[in-house]
Structure 1
Amino acid sequence: MTFSEVRPEDDRVQAAAMKIASFKNAFVKEYATQSDRHVVILACSHIEELLKELLQRRLLPVSGAKDPLFTGQAALATFSARCEMAYRLGLISDEFKSALNTIRKIRNYFAHTVVTDIDDFKPEFYQIVSNLERSPALSELMKLFPDEEHVRQILLATLMLVIFRLQGALVKIESMTLANPLPLVPPDWTKATSLGAAVTEKMSAQ
C-alpha cells in the first residue's frame, strides 16, 4: 500500500495523513543534513509539542492563549512529565514511554556537552531499537536514508517512527485507554506503508 492508496475515513485522518507526508519530506531533506546532535534536539522539540497536544486533547480547554499546565515551571512543562502523564493516562504503552525517556536522556546529554555523535550513546540508544531492529517499521523507514551509516540510519528511522506514531495518535485519541495504549510499532505495519500505518489504525471509538 502506498500513501496515495490510503483511504482516510474522515477529515481528521486525511489532515493527519497530509501532515505526516509533509513532515516526512521535510525530515528527509533537512534532518539528514544535520549532525546527530542537532537531529536529536530538533526531533525532541517536535516530540514534546506532540505530547503536549495529545495531553491537551484529554483536558478541558483553557480560556487564554497559553495553557498554564504546560508553561514555565508548571506540572506538564517538561518532556519527562509529559511522557509520564501520557503513560499514566493510557495514551502510550510502557515500551513507548521507555523509548521516549531514552531519547530524552540522549537529548539532554547532547544539549549540555560538545558531543555531536550518536556513537557515544550506543548502549543507551540500542535499548530503544533492540526490539525494533527486525521490525518492518524500522526497515521501511531506514530505506529513506540509503546513504547514511547504519547507526545513523537507525537513529533517523527511530525518531521518525516516534513522531509518525504520535502524529497518527492525534486522530485516534478517543480510542486510547489504559487497556489500549498506543504501541510504538502498530500491529498492521506489514499491511501498510510507514505513512498508512501511522494514521489508519482502526479507531475503536467510532
Structure 2
Amino acid sequence: MKLKPPKNLENLYEDTQKVFNVLNHESDIACVLIGASYLSELLGSAIRTVLRKSKVTEKLLGPGKGILGSFQTRADMAYCLKIIGKSDLQDLEVIGNIRNSFAHKHLSFDFTDSEVEKECNKLNAWNIKLHTEEINSDPHIEKLPETIFKVDSTRQKFVISIVMIKQRIINGAFTKIASE
C-alpha cells in the first residue's frame, strides 16, 4: 500500500469524531496507535499549511521517506516553526515513546502497565488543573472549580493529552498563517 502525504488541515476535521471514538471506546493499543498517528497527520498538515506550496514541500512531508515524514521530526519542525510550544514538544516525545512501547510489545501491554503509567505521568497537556489556574487568575471571568476536571485513569491522561495537543497544533498553524 502506498503511503500518502498528510491531508489538508481543514480535511482532518472530518476524521475527528472517528478518532475520538477510537480514543474512548477501542482497545488500549488502538487508542495509542491511532492517537499518535492522528497527531502525526495533524503535525504534517500544520507544517504543510505554513510552508510554501510546492512539490518540494510534498517531498519533504512524504511519510516514510520524506525528511519530515516521521512523527518526531514533524514535532521538532512544528516547534521550530512556532506552531507548538516547548511543553507540547515534550509531550509529543512522550507520546512517541508510548506509541513505540505499544508497537514493540504484544497484546498484554496496556495502560495499566507501570512503564506506560510512568510515561503518561510525564505528560503535561492532560493536567487541565494548570489551565484552570490560568483561567482563575483572570479577575474578569467567573472562577472554574478545579474538581470539575478530575482525571481518573492513565488512559484518560493520554486521551486528554491527545485532544489538547490536537487543538494547539490547529490553533498554532492558523495563528501562524494569520500573522504572515
Superposition TM-score, scaled by structure 1 size: 0.62
Contact 2:19 2:34 (8 Å CA) reproduced: no
Indicate the residue corresponding to 1:39 in structure 2: 31
Q: How far apart, CA to CA, are the structure 1 residues paired with 2:85 and 2:77?
A: 12
Aligned with residue 112 of structure 2, among 111, 119, 132: 119
Q: How many residues align?
A: 154
Indicate the residue corresponding to 2:60 in structure 1: 69
Q: How far apart, CA to CA, are the structure 2 residues paired with 1:52 and 1:139?
A: 35
**What one-letter code is carried by the residue in structure 2 that aligns with 1:117?**
D
What RMSD, in angstroms, separates the aligned Cα atoms of the two structures? 3.3
**What one-letter code is carried by the residue in structure 1 that aligns with 2:119?**
E
Q: How far apart, CA to CA, are the structure 2 residues paired with 1:140 and 1:173?
A: 32
Contact 2:126 2:161 (8 Å CA) reproduced: no
Aligned pair 1:169/2:172, yes or no?
Answer: yes
Q: How far apart, CA to CA, are the structure 2 residues paired with 1:46 and 1:90?
A: 20
Cα deviation 1:146-199 (Å, max 9, x = unaligned): xxx522222221111111222333322236xxxxxxxxxxxxxxxxxxxxxxxx
Aligned with residue 90 of structure 1, among 77, 82, 86: 82
Higher helix share: 2
**What one-letter code is carried by the residue in structure 2 that aligns with 1:70?**
L
Indicate the residue corresponding to 1:191 in structure 2: none
Shift of 1:134: 2.2
Contact 1:87 1:93 (8 Å CA) reproduced: yes
SS of residue paired to 1:118: coil
Shift of 1:36: 1.6
Contact 1:142 1:156 (8 Å CA) reproduced: no
Superposition TM-score, scaled by structure 2 size: 0.70
Aligned pair 1:101/2:69, yes or no?
Answer: no
The answer for unaligned runs of 5 or more in structure 1 is 1-14, 144-148, 176-204
Contact 1:141 1:161 (8 Å CA) reproduced: no
Aligned with residue 56 of structure 1, among 41, 48, 60: 48
Contact 1:83 1:97 (8 Å CA) reproduced: yes
Change (3 A) 1:140 1:60: farther
Contact 2:79 2:86 (8 Å CA) reproduced: yes
Indicate the residue corresponding to 1:199 in structure 2: none
SS of residue paired to 2:129: coil
Shift of 1:93: 1.1
Higher relative contact order (CA 8 A, sep 6+): 1
